[in-house]
Amino acid sequence: MYITCLDMEGVLVPEIWIAFAEASGIPELKRTTRDEPDYDKLMNWRLGVLKEHGLGLKEIQDTIATIDPLPGAKEFLDELRNFTQVIILSDTFEQFAQPLMKKLGWPTLFCNTLEVAPDGMITGFKMRCPQSKLTTVRALQSIGYDTIASGDSFNDLGMIQASKAGFLFRSTEQIKADYPQIPAYEEFGDLLAAIRSAMD
């Protein structure tokens, strides 16, 4: 009995913070978990930048409304869900993800939530649990599932390495070089074939 666990940003949809950095003209917001492995540190830094520029949830949601899934992502997900259960494990937030989930056909998403003041300023964030991707994969294994995992960033490595099969997808050259033992793919068709093969 398998469950496939996928990262969201960089795998199925573009990186939200990179899109917002471009839309807002604040290039330093392009930093992601590909650059900073410590997610708490990264998010607190981001919130500081937002506060400094007087930007809140609405401005980010306006950018997200313009984002489409990566080409081929919905078809990949539809095909994958034909033969395995799929959960998207993301360090993003409910307030960001909803319009993207709609465009992907409402797959199951486990993520986190933002703390937002009445004036729309983001004052903090609440993580679902520590090391949420790895913790979730281990919890699924504890109830009898074999997991297959794929992602692109430092914060995906735990769930990839803890799974029966794990794959990097459109990752950085640095991560691929540091973890040569993890198969790495660039195309949805190749990742789909690898997942299918891992279940045989």
The SS3 call for residue 138 is: helix
Instruction: Give Cα separations from 35 to 6, 22, 29, 31, 42 (angstroms).
Output: 19, 17, 11, 6, 9
What local confidence, expressed as pLDDT, does residue 38 receive? 85
Spans of the chain, pLDDT less than 50:
none
What local confidence, expressed as pLDDT, does residue 33 receive? 78
What local confidence, expressed as pLDDT, does residue 32 receive? 84
The string of DSSP codes covering 69-87 is PPTTHHHHHHHHHHHSEEE
What local confidence, expressed as pLDDT, does residue 34 receive? 76
Q: So which residues are the catalytic ones? A: 7, 9
CB-based contacts of 186: which residues, under 8 Å, 6+ apart?
169, 170
CB-based contacts of 91: which residues, under 8 Å, 6+ apart?
33, 39, 111, 112, 127, 132, 133, 155
What local confidence, expressed as pLDDT, does residue 39 receive? 85
Q: Is-contact 199 186, C-beta < 8 A?
A: no
The whole-angstrom separation of Cα 162 and Cα 141 is 10
The whole-angstrom separation of Cα 87 and Cα 84 is 10
What local confidence, expressed as pLDDT, does residue 50 receive? 94
Q: Is-contact 54 83, C-beta < 8 A?
A: no
What local confidence, expressed as pLDDT, does residue 3 receive? 97
